[in-house]
């Protein structure tokens, strides 16, 4: 699992780094105020639709069904995989067309009080971005098929090409249009077409890479329209609960974007864009470590369940939690300490002033509270999915989303607009922490224990090993700001190098001395590769 996770983590790391460059280019080109909010509102819609229609079903239903078809069908599941890809291609092309036609309605659903030029710009961008639905969905199905064949590299590396394409588009946009491209009042439909279609071109390139990777894995695509043999009824019965879960979470996301859009209208630079940028940074550790480990673990847990090996499910879950925690525990503490120092070098360029970048960092600090609970929550859902149980995650997810919505609404009512987005992040962290507790209790009953005592002791040791790192980072932030004043690009880099870089080395040293096996395994694997 460590080797498979390392391959995926390496690809995801490069993908996230290029994603940061992409976000930096976006912040420089259009800023984090009105124009940035319009773009990010349009950009969020296709991902929300895909979550609703496909992505949640992939991990909970499609992957286990492909694994079963590969095991039980005479052709090793080849025809079944071709039917899935055919159905996904046709269905998502239709959905993309309908979404483009419904762009004004969709923008109105995800924002509050947008009228005039801001609304028109968001709708125009959405119409250029929404066609990516078809290509992204096809790539997602191709990635799921590759994962079931233990081909993890391409799905993690393909987004790099996507980011490179969009970075090129944004650099060209900034070079050609300059300040005119940042101003909501001056931007033209031609400029918006370059911005929107360039975003879609990156997803097209990503899908092409995944299709080519499928061919290299020996998969030949032949369109199959014999839907009777696609087991859609079985998939629908299993997937209806997952779709219900995604519907609930998307309703929560719609509330988030609406509350953030109102805050952004009241205070420039404190709306949807800082929420989006901070969330992307928050998702980095989970995307690099959590998704890699979970993606490698789910097929193995599914096979263990199908063979009645519950002990192996417990062992797989326990090793996954400890492996995730060994990195995420110190990273979560560093996010809470170094948030603004992370965001100033990334975002404080061009159309984004330093104070807007600092606010994104403040939101990131709050998000740091929820990093470990969120990752454990997601892994717990995979325990249910490995059993083919998609109903329990809906109940747990619905309860978590309702709590999140309740906390968001309360904090929105009591906090000034300048702190609204920070309140949204806090509500998210608290809700997922409570959701993880409930999901753990239910999953433990399902597999007759998850080894909670051993996992709890391991996580406690990891937090103890990470405390010196947090203290060092706090000291560096205090000393640098005393010596040089406020945050600038240079002072932020100093803080990150000493507080973050040296801090992580300190954590590895302390964890090694404490003989935390997961950290020793990671250090040993990296040292071995470097030695070779």
- Top pLDDT among 60 and 42 is at 42
CA 403, 406, 407, 408: dihedral to nearest 10 degrees?
120
pLDDT tens per residue across span 448-479? 788 888 888 988 999 999 999 999 999 999 99
pLDDT at position 94, please? 87
What's the residue count for the chain?
Answer: 532
Average pLDDT over residues 223-244: 63
Query: Residues 378, 380, 383, 389: is their CA dihedral positive or negative?
Result: negative
Q: What is the mean pLDDT of residues 130-150?
A: 78
What does pLDDT average to over the chain? 82
State the Cα torsion 465-466-471-472 to the nearest 10°: 100
CB-facing half-sphere around the CA of 455: CA atoms within 13 A: 19
Return the pLDDT at 416: 93
State yes or no: pLDDT of 43 exceeds 70.
Answer: yes
**CA dist 5 to 59, 156, 518, Å?**
16, 10, 13
pTM of the model: 0.77
Task: State the Cα–Cα distance between residues 403 and 393, nearest whole angstrom.
Answer: 15
Mean pLDDT of 438-446: 89
Contact indicator for 337, 359 with CB cutoff of 8 Å: no
Tell me the C-alpha distance between 127 and 138, whole Å: 19
Residues 235-250 have pLDDT tens digits of 656 556 666 767 777 7
Write down the pLDDT at residue 532. 58
State both tokens at 368: 């740091």
Contact of 223 with 154, CB cutoff 8 Å: no
- Which residues have C-beta within 8 Å of that of residue 312, sequence separation ≥ 6? 300, 301, 304
- Tell which wins on pLDDT, 149 or 509: 509
Residue 496: is its pLDDT beyond 90? yes
User: What pLDDT is stored for residue 268 in this prediction?
Assistant: 83
- Between CA 496 and CA 39, with CA 283 as vertex, the angle to 5 degrees is 100
∠ CA(336), CA(450), CA(504), 5° rounding? 30
Q: What is the pLDDT of residue 140?
A: 76
pLDDT band at residue 332 using 50, 70 and 90 as cut-offs: very high
> Which of 46-55, 211-220, 250-259, 361-370 is least confident?
46-55
**What pLDDT was estimated at residue 142?**
79
Structure tokens at 379: 């892994």
What does each C-alpha distance from 426 to 336, 369, 404, 410 come to in angstroms?
A: 12, 8, 9, 11
What percent of the chain clears pLDDT 90, i.e. is strictly above it? 27
Q: Is 161 exposed, middle or buried (0-12, 13-18, 19+ CB in 10 A)?
A: middle
pLDDT at 53: 62
| pLDDT exceeds 60 at position 489 | yes
Query: What CA–CA distance (Å, rounded) separates 22 from 166?
Result: 7
The confidence score (pLDDT) of residue 5 equals 57
> What per-residue confidence (pLDDT) applies to 387?
80
Mean pLDDT of 292-312: 74
Lowest mean pLDDT across 140-154, 211-225, 233-247, 495-509: 233-247
Report the share of the chain in percent with pLDDT over 70. 84
**Quick one: pLDDT band at residue 288, thresholds 50, 70, 90?**
confident
Average the pLDDT over each of 274-278, 310-314, 362-366 and give the range with the smallest value. 310-314
pLDDT in tens, 69-107: 767 667 666 777 777 778 777 888 888 899 899 999 989
Give mean pLDDT, residues 404-409: 94
Q: Which residues have C-beta within 8 Å of that of residue 278, sequence separation ≥ 6?
A: 343, 360, 361, 363, 364, 367, 421, 425
* 152 pLDDT above the threshold of 60: yes
Contact indicator for 146, 210 with CB cutoff of 8 Å: yes
Q: What is the Cα–Cα distance from 4 to 15, expressed in whole angstroms?
A: 17
For the stretch 496-502, contacts whose Cβ atoms lie closer than 8 Å and that sit 24 or more positions apart, written own/partner, are: 496/338, 496/341, 496/342, 496/345, 498/472, 499/334, 499/337, 499/338, 499/341, 499/472, 499/473, 499/474, 499/475, 500/334, 500/338, 500/341, 500/342, 500/473, 502/472
The band of 3, judged by pLDDT with boundaries at 50, 70 and 90, is low
In the predicted structure, residue 111 carries a pLDDT above the cut 90: no
């Amino acid at each position: 699992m460590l080797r498979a996770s390392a391959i995926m983590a390496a690809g995801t790391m490069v993908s996230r780094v290029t994603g940061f460059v992409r976000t930096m280019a976006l912040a420089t080109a259009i800023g984090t105020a009105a124009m940035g909010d319009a773009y990010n509102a349009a950009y969020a819609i296709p991902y929300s639709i895909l979550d609703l229609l496909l992505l949640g079903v992939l991990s909970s239903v499609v992957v286990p069904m492909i694994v079963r078809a590969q095991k039980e069908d005479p052709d090793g599941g080849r025809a079944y995989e071709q039917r899935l890809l055919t159905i996904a291609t046709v269905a998502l092309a239709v959905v993309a067309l309908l979404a483009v036609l419904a762009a004004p309605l969709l923008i109105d659903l995800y924002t509050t009080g947008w009228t005039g030029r801001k609304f028109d710009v968001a709708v125009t961008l959405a119409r250029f971005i929404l066609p990516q639905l078809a290509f992204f969905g096809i790539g997602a199905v191709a990635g799921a098929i590759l994962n079931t064949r233990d081909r993890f590299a391409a799905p993690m590396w393909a987004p790099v090409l996507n980011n490179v394409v969009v970075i090129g588009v944004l650099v060209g946009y900034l070079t050609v249009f300059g300040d005119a491209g940042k101003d909501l009042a001056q931007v033209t439909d031609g400029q918006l077409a370059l911005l929107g279609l360039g975003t879609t071109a990156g997803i097209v390139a990503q899908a092409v890479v995944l299709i080519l990777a499928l061919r290299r894995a020996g998969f030949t695509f032949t369109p199959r329209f014999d839907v009777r043999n696609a087991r859609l009824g079985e998939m629908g019965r299993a997937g209806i609960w997952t779709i219900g879960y995604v519907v609930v979470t998307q309703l929560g996301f719609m509330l988030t974007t609406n509350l953030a859009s109102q805050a952004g209208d009241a205070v420039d630079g404190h709306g949807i864009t800082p929420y989006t940028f901070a969330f992307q940074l928050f998702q980095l550790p989970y995307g690099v470590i959590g998704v890699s480990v979970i993606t490698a673990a789910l097929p193995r847990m599914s096979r263990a369940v199908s063979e009645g090996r519950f002990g192996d499910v417990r062992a797989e879950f326990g090793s996954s939690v400890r492996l995730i925690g060994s990195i995420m525990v110190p990273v979560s503490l560093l996010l809470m300490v170094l948030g603004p120092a992370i965001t100033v070098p990334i975002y404080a360029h061009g159309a984004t002033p330093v104070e807007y970048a600092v606010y994104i960092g403040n939101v990131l600090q709050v998000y740091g509270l929820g990093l470990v609970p969120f990752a454990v929550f997601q892994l717990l859902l995979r325990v249910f999915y490995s059993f083919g149980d998609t109903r329990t995650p809906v109940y747990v997810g619905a309860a978590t989303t309702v709590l999140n919505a309740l906390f968001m609404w309360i904090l929105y009512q009591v906090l000034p607009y300048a702190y609204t987005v920070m309140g949204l992040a806090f509500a998210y962290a608290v809700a997922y922490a409570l959701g993880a507790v409930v999901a753990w209790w239910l999953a433990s009953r399902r597999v007759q224990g998850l080894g909670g005592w051993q996992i709890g002791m391991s996580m406690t040791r990891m937090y103890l090993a990470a405390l010196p790192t947090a203290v060092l980072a706090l000291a560096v932030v205090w000393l640098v700001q005393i010596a040089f004043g406020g945050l600038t690009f240079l002072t932020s880099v100093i803080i990150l190098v000493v507080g973050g870089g040296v801090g992580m080395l300190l954590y590895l040293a302390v964890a090694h001395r404490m003989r935390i096996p997961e950290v020793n395994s990671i250090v040993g694997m990296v040292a071995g590769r470097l030695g070779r």
